[in-house]
Structure 1
Amino acid sequence: MAQTAPWPRPALRGAANRLFTSLPRALHEARGGSPSSTGARINTTHTLSQAALPRQASIQYLPVNLFASVMGISGLALAWRQAGHQFGASPLVDAAISSIAVAIFVVLCIAYAAKAVLHPSAVRGEFLHPIAGNFFGTVTIAILLISSVVAPLSNRASEILWSIGAAATITLSFTIVSRLLRGKVDAGHSVPAWLIPGVATLDITVAGGTMPMGWARELNLFSMAVGTMVALVFFTMIMSRLIHHQEKLANEMVPSLMILIAPFEVGFLAYTNFFQRVDAFAAMLFYFGLFVFFSLAFKIFKRSIAFAAGWWALSFPIAALCNAALRYAEHVRHPAMTGLAVALLAFLSGLIAVLLFRTIRLAASGKLLAPR
């Protein structure tokens, strides 16, 4: 007697699966739908549900480079103060911008202190990062510049802030430079942010070149010497990396290229503030920084670079350039130089306004404190 062949259960199971899979599609097509829209609808629903998930904003992600905003706004306040002295600009402008700078500085100090208490590992990781760690220099520079901003209100407060800022700046510069001198540094990490600790020591003299304390003169001279040499060495290394390294800077770091003008413009301000004169050497510093500014401007200001907190890195070098131009224009008393100084002041004012607006909008959207 012939045996009946066994049922091909795997084959039947596969056929049933195909039937149940194709049935909804067939019914959808019978109603006039396109064959691909069912799957598209499922994918779209999944995508929308994923997009609807909020990104968790947290103080943990507050970037230390946001202190650069205090530097830029303080620099703008000092520029308008100089403009008031030279051109009779209203002191109310300086006072208003100074108030904004102090308010932002206080808010950021409280916020970053909260980050340090609640998320110490995040702060440690940021400090030890080969690139982000250099931006801690923006904190100490902000203290130094705030000391100049509040000077008309209280000389005593200015002296205390400057002393704290100078001590913190020298300590940080020593730490960062010592870390780099250990060796084994990736050439790709040679970025403009390296200049911040060096420029920070120059800012000690910018903010305190006329401090009355007996020990201030030697500290200013020491700071100017350290800042000059460190900035020159790092500037050479960074230029070598930008020219020879095959890997280009990431888009979000392109605005930081403007830091390359800082050693020359901040150097001009430190030199003229300490020696109380503008000579040929000071003029050379100013003009070379101006040349670098025009060389970089067309490379940096592009729509293709998305806005982020890192854009504030270009505010303080341009603020230094503006203050240097105003001081140099006062010295040479030439209409062309005066026009350049006024144009730079207008440009800096517009730039700070745009950066402030975009930062507020970024904070309102929750992206400022979102994980990156």
Structure 2
Amino acid sequence: MQTLAALPKQKAIGSIQFLPVNLFASVMGISGLSLAWREASKLFGTSTLIADISGIVAILVFIALSLGYISKWILYPQKVTDEFKHPIMGNFFGTITIAMLLLSSVISSYSQITGQIMWVIATAATIVLSFIFVTRLLNGNHEPGNAVPALLIPVVGTIDIAVAGGTMPFPWAHEINLLSLAIGGFVAVVFFTLILSRLIHHAPLPPALMPSMMIMIAPFEVGFLGYTNFVQRIDSFASILFYFGLFLFIVLFFKVFKTSIPFSASWWGISFPIAALSNAALKYAMFVHSWLFIAISAIILAFLSIVVAVLFIRTINMLAKGNLLKG
């Protein structure tokens, strides 16, 4: 009787075949929140409690999504293949490797060896994935309309190798980090130009993709974090990256945060770019020792915390109502 009673509930929640790969962006956002609050403890002297809780939640969400998506791969392999080959949704497979890279930093706070192992695995996966996507694009015959901000995700993932691995003790880590910055930096410039051209000269993005516009700040803020972690200093080039990312965030804020855009899993795409901006702002505030930047970093951190909390609650609500895993 209990099994029969559970069937309606399972049907109400939905089917695993409709689990979207872009939900891994939630792990990126929550991990970024954890890292931001850990950075804030250095600047403001606050407790690391929020960082610890966020880190644990990020790990649990990643495990749950990984089990779910592996189940989808086993039970509905064609669904996963179609998603991977899709010119837009396919880019979100980069959220898996980025999530692993960020989790390696989160886990390193508790176990350096475990964090290092995860970084090595995630680094290899990220480089392979970036190779696949760049090769796919060079095959030609791509629609200009598919040059959307999500195109940046696999590229940003490459830069994240240096963000998470800037202080890795391996003798070969220096060259791998340099390779990641080279790939991510130059390809990001090309892709950003393509995306900007598409946004200027073609029809506006559909409402479901509007939140993904915030991804456009990621190459600059992630680039700032990756570059400064690699060179172990903040110079004029790093400052330029930070400032342009901050400017772009202000511009995109008024285009993305509109009540007319319906909520969906794609909204998680805004979380990590804002988390990257928050981490960069906190790091820059500690560098310039200015009350203005301390205030700015505090405002961005508070905004990030609210965004992640709202996204998390609304996603759980969607899941409970059966709208998240619905075809």
Normalised by the length of structure 1, the TM-score is 0.84
**1:288 maps to what in 2?**
244
**1:189 maps to what in 2?**
146
5+ residue gaps in structure 1?
1-53
Q: 1:298-335 CA deviation, whole Å, 9 max, x = no partner? A: 11101111100000000000000000000000000000
Contact 1:252 1:305 in 2 (8 A): yes
**1:214 maps to what in 2?**
171
Q: Which of 322, 330, 336 is the matching residue for 2:292?
A: 336
**2:43 maps to what in 1?**
86
C-alpha distance in 2, partners of 1:181/1:57?
37
1:125 matched to 2:47:
no
For the residue of structure 2 that corresponds to 1:268, the secondary structure is helix
1:255 matched to 2:208:
no
**2:307 maps to what in 1?**
351
Normalised by the length of structure 2, the TM-score is 0.96
1:112 matched to 2:72:
no
For the residue of structure 2 that corresponds to 1:228, the secondary structure is helix
CA gap of 1:56–1:353, structure 2 versus 1, over 3 A, is: closer
1:321 matched to 2:277:
yes
Q: 1:101-157 CA deviation, whole Å, 9 max, x = no partner? A: 111011111111101100000000000000000000000000000000010211110
C-alpha distance in 1, partners of 2:30/2:12?
30
C-alpha distance in 2, partners of 1:342/1:248?
33
Contact 2:12 2:321 in 1 (8 A): no
- What is the aligned residue count? 317
**1:138 maps to what in 2?**
95
C-alpha distance in 1, partners of 2:110/2:289?
30
Q: CA deviation at 1:55?
A: 7.5
**Over aligned residues, Cα RMSD in angstroms?**
0.9
**2:119 maps to what in 1?**
162
Q: 1:192-220 CA deviation, whole Å, 9 max, x = no partner? A: 00000110000000000110011111000
Q: 1:1-53 CA deviation, whole Å, 9 max, x = no partner? A: xxxxxxxxxxxxxxxxxxxxxxxxxxxxxxxxxxxxxxxxxxxxxxxxxxxxx
Counterpart of 1:315, as a letter, is S
C-alpha distance in 1, partners of 2:51/2:218?
23
C-alpha distance in 2, partners of 1:264/1:94?
24
**1:309 maps to what in 2?**
265
5+ residue gaps in structure 2?
1-10
C-alpha distance in 2, partners of 1:328/1:206?
15
Higher RCO (CA < 8 A, seq sep 6+): 2
Contact 1:55 1:370 in 2 (8 A): no
Q: CA deviation at 1:56?
A: 8.3
Q: Percent identity?
A: 57
For the residue of structure 2 that corresponds to 1:282, the secondary structure is helix
Contact 1:255 1:311 in 2 (8 A): yes
C-alpha distance in 1, partners of 2:140/2:54?
43
**2:3 maps to what in 1?**
none
Counterpart of 1:275, as a letter, is V
C-alpha distance in 2, partners of 1:197/1:231?
10
**1:239 maps to what in 2?**
196
For the residue of structure 1 that corresponds to 2:108, the secondary structure is coil
**2:107 maps to what in 1?**
150
